[in-house]
Amino acid sequence: KHLQVNGKTTAGEMIKQLFGESESFEKIGTGVSSIEVGWAKIGDHRLPIMIHGFINSPNGPQSSKDFLECVNNFQRWLSIQRD
């Protein structure tokens, strides 16, 4: 289980402020496939978060290839996490 946020600015910042473990966030990837990853606490649940730019916007993934790169970056990050 994870939380995926579409939009780095308003939506991403809101989720990080409300639920995020701020010290856990980092930026990975480059260009339109760059994402922010970290951890959130919602109730009794701790979840990994992937925040990407708006889909099909100039700063977000614009194709299935771009989005797959976002997902692969997230999966690599998840594979080295310990919770």
Kindly indicate the confidence band of residue 20, based on its pLDDT and cuts at 50, 70 and 90.
very high
Q: What is the pLDDT of residues 59-81, one digit of tens each?
A: 888 888 988 999 999 999 999 99
Percentage with pLDDT > 90 across the chain: 70
**Segment 24-42 mean pLDDT:** 94
Residues contacting 45, CB < 8 A, separation 6+: 1
Position 60 scores a pLDDT of 84
